[in-house]
Amino acid sequence: FAPPRTLEVLLTRVMIRMEDAGFLKHKLFHYFIGVARKYGERILNGQPVPLTGRLLYGLGNVLIYGPLKNVLGFSRVRVAYTDEREEQHAMDAGALVLVVPTVRSYEEAIKARDWAYFPPLGKRSLGGGQAFSMYANVPGGYRQTINDNLVLILMIETLDGLTDADRIAKIPGVTAIFAASADLGNFAGTKQNDPDYECEINIVHDAAIKACVLLCGPLAWRDRPDFTCFQGGSELAAVAI
């Protein structure tokens, strides 16, 4: 079995960047990578591991693995479309931030919410996957706490989505709505700074403000009023901001 080429590239980038890190960070990184290689797979598979190994792995998760996953986007997943299988697989893999693109209607948004959350808020089934082992030490348990910790972001990208933006933003469980700068213009035939385009963005903006949810957009809009979460082009962009 060989890892996907994409993961090999990411690993190479991380290893190169860590060679330029400070002495302490460099030593911690390589030490806890060794811990992960020794115990990580067995822990994730629920196999017996000495208490010392579990303690070291837990410390490594706080200092190295967790921050690294966040920087690389492994705790944040954008599914391909609103679909039970897509969302279930993302959540079972351990996603804590779920981004659903091209939400065209209130009904589609309800489905996106239902497949992301366990009952009573949603309809997510109790499947397998590594999420339960990844978050096995979460106080209260993964199943009992993930509904309170999940960040669900719905992307408004079409004119139909704009029509239902107010209702979509008010759905319980929706954390944020995303004003998709490129595709809103693509579907509406407008471009940034055109009055009609700015009106479209304002519809998403106003829906988020009225529903008291977060307003997301591209990284270039980080200075726009009320936008508080952003999509970076790469892990380097995420670090830079």
Predicted confidence (pLDDT) per residue in 37-64, tens digit: 888 877 766 678 899 888 998 888 788 8
How far is it, in rounded angstroms, from Cα 216 to Cα 155?
Answer: 9
**Predicted confidence band of residue 4 (pLDDT cuts 50, 70, 90):** very low
Residue 235, token pair as written in the block: 């892990």
Q: Which residues contact 237 (CB under 8 A, 6 or more apart)?
A: 219
With residue 176 as reference, give the H or E element that holds it. strand 176-179
Q: Which residues contact 230 (CB under 8 A, 6 or more apart)?
A: 216, 217, 218, 219, 221, 222, 241
Q: What percent of the chain has pLDDT over 70?
A: 83
How far is it, in rounded angstroms, from Cα 178 to Cα 110?
Answer: 16
For residue 168, is pLDDT > 80? yes
What is the model's pLDDT at position 237? 44
Question: b vs e for 136-156, b when ≥16 Cβ sit within 10 Å of the residue's Cβ?
Answer: eeeeeebeeebbeebbbbbbb
pLDDT tens digits, residue range 6-39? 456 556 777 777 888 888 888 888 898 888 888 8
Q: In Å, what is the CA distance from 46 to each residue of 2, 67, 137?
A: 22, 23, 12
Strand partners, 178: 155, 216
What is the model's pLDDT at position 234? 46
Top pLDDT among 8 and 98 is at: 98
- Whether the CB-CB separation of 211 and 170 falls below 8 Å is answered with yes
For residue 82, is pLDDT > 70? no
**Predicted confidence band of residue 188 (pLDDT cuts 50, 70, 90):** confident
What is the model's pLDDT at position 191? 85
For 171, how many CA atoms within 13 A lie in the half-sphere containing its CB? 28
DSSP conformational letter for 131:
H
**What is the pTM assigned to this prediction?**
0.68
For residue 67, is pLDDT > 70? yes
